Structure 1
Amino acid sequence: MKKSKPQQRSPVLDESFAGQLDPPRRVVESQTVGGGCISPAWQVLVERSDNGERERLFVKRNSMAMAENFRCEASGLTALAQTGTIRVPSPLATLVHGSHAYLVLPWIETSKRRNGFFEEFGRRLAQLHRATSGDQIGWHEDNFLGSAPQKNAAMQNWPHFVAEQRIGFQVRWAVDQGLADRRLQADCERIMSAMPEILDGRQQGTSLLHGDLWSGNYLCDDSGQPVLIDPAVSRGCREAEWGMIRLFGACPVEFEQAYQETWPMNDGWQRRSSVYVLYHLLNHLNLFGSGYLGQCRSLAAEIVSQ
């Protein structure tokens, strides 16, 4: 999810959180950093109590209401890291301390993107999808797309899942909030009814999806390799990954070419992936308001007319 601008005032970190880690740490120094657009974030240098070694951490903090969001984010990062296909920071802890929730990750040193970065990123993403291929749909629990709930209960087939748990959920939410007009609601209902036809031609099977690959959710580390952060994981058709990539991913054509060379998607994937772009646009409508209504109406009408 593309987030709103971060807070302008620098928050103060309660350094006593480090004593709750395992093993306990002592904060040596900390500084606020970008990358926490929903939650304030810090780079923190700590010293371990067991061996005195120092390490740098990335720490996000928010109200206790975000504890479940942080737990789901950590679970998604762990699932992605376990594939061994692309670098992902393995969570060190999620905890509640005082009146705040915390997510603690190892610090990732980043660098400017080098020549060939997007080709490598495309190959690695295709490897992730291929290594996790199977037939499961959804996820073992609901989680979050940014700060929005994401429903993941398995359905009988993929088109039904997309219709009910993706487009349907977002449209019902938008209607409840008074954000979806009759035209958008009607077009989305048509899309839901026609979902088997709209998604026909895709490769069968599912993969583990990052789920929120906008340009702020991948990094280039100090060795020039891609790194994934802030996922909204589920299992689904890998074409769904391209919803956010197409919307806000800012990935050049060489990224797509490298992906296709590694594990090609079936012809027509660009047309089919418009449904997943719509999912993310509807989510932005629900989170950020009517400024996204025009884009939602335009894309929904385009899908209906195909």
Structure 2
Amino acid sequence: MPTFVKTADGELERLDQEAAGLRWLAGAEQDGGTRIAAVVAATRTRLEIEHVREVDPGVGDARRLGASLARTHAAGASWFGCPPDGWPGGTTMGRSRQPYLLAEPDGPHSWGSFYAWHRIAVFARRLRDAGQLDPAGAAVYDRLCERLADGVHDAPQPALVRSGVARVHGDLWAGNVLWDGGRTGAVLVDPMARGDHAESDLGMLALFGLAHLNHVFAGYDEASPLADGWRDRLALHALSPLMFHALLFGGGYGARALSVARRYTGGPRAA
């Protein structure tokens, strides 16, 4: 079987973490979940996976991807922010230093509180420390975190996610979707897998675009109906990766992220 090999420094980026995510997501395949690139071998600094032969995608591939992604999410997770089963260690992952919650928190633990304090507040602090966020901008993110923690933007999971927490890919942009024309239309690679709201993967797909995206959404919604207003929440779910891009690349990403944050605090958007 042809394979693909990637290497990393083993510190900032640990490939044994990525392998754990791939295996965890692949556990949903037996129930119709999206096909995940098979792990051949993995260490902290080296990951070998199957090579995927890509094809030009069609509408049918997109609908199959959507339906199978719904079933991957339905495999569930233990709590918001939990790492994959078989997690090899570390409290963060990748260049984004995405925080994980290694144990289930005490007391109420909603999606809104997780997203507020373990995503938006974390990235806002990093932007401020990097000199990319002024006090007025920081106040916008503070208001958003308060609204999130109060449950203002909480919404039900899609119908098939009965555990209350979805099993998500976590970095589902177009580059990590390899169209192969097979049973599930595509094969997924390079996850930052965790327990989260299923709409986080859909928001990431919408952030940078994907071929036949509306057909992916249609296939998903047919297999696992989405909660009312889901399209209006996509930008909110994509806000933390957008903030990370602002950290990495600066430019217009910071202003775009702040505009999204204002939208969900009820404030005016930037021009």
Under a length normalisation based on structure 2, what TM-score does the superposition of the two structures give?
0.83
- SS in structure 1 at match of 2:49: strand
Aligned partners of 2:57 and 2:181 also within 8 Å: no
2:82 aligns with 139
Higher RCO (Cα < 8 Å, 6 or more apart): 2
2:129 aligns with 176
Q: Structure 1 unaligned segments of length 5 or more: list them.
A: 1-54
Distance 1:278 1:222 in 2: 31
Aligned partners of 1:72 and 1:143 also within 8 Å: no
Distance 2:233 2:181 in 1: 36
Aligned partners of 2:61 and 2:181 also within 8 Å: no
Does residue 124 of the first structure (1) align with residue 68 of the second (2)? yes
Does residue 285 of the first structure (1) align with residue 246 of the second (2)? yes
1:12 aligns with none
- SS in structure 2 at match of 1:103: strand
Please identify the structure whose Cα radius of gyration is greater.
Answer: 1
Query: Kindly tell me: are residues 136 and 63 of structure 1, through their superposed partners in 2, closer, same or farther at Cα, counting changes over 3 Å?
Result: closer
Aligned partners of 1:198 and 1:272 also within 8 Å: no
Q: How many residues align?
A: 245
Paired AA for residue 81 in structure 2: G
Query: Kindly tell me: are residues 92 and 210 of structure 1, through their superposed partners in 2, closer, same or farther at Cα, counting changes over 3 Å?
Result: same
Does residue 162 of the first structure (1) align with residue 110 of the second (2)? no
1:91 counterpart (26, 31, 39):
39
Which has a greater percent of strand? 1
2:86 aligns with none
2:6 aligns with 60
Q: Which runs of 4+ in 1 moved over 3 A?
A: 62-66, 140-143
Query: Kindly tell me: are residues 262 and 213 of structure 1, through their superposed partners in 2, closer, same or farther at Cα, counting changes over 3 Å?
Result: same
Query: Kindly tell me: are residues 183 and 197 of structure 1, through their superposed partners in 2, closer, same or farther at Cα, counting changes over 3 Å?
Result: same
Aligned partners of 1:61 and 1:103 also within 8 Å: yes
1:245 aligns with 205
After the TM superposition, which residues 288-303 of structure 1 pair with which residues of structure 2 at under 5 Å, given as runs? 288-303=249-264
1:91-143 deviations in whole A, cap 9, x for unaligned? 122236xxxx321112112222134111111111111112x135522124634
1:29 aligns with none
2:153 aligns with 199
Distance 1:179 1:151 in 2: 21
1:81 counterpart (14, 19, 26):
26
Does residue 270 of the first structure (1) align with residue 218 of the second (2)? no
- SS in structure 2 at match of 1:60: strand
Q: Percent identity?
A: 29
Distance 1:174 1:242 in 2: 25
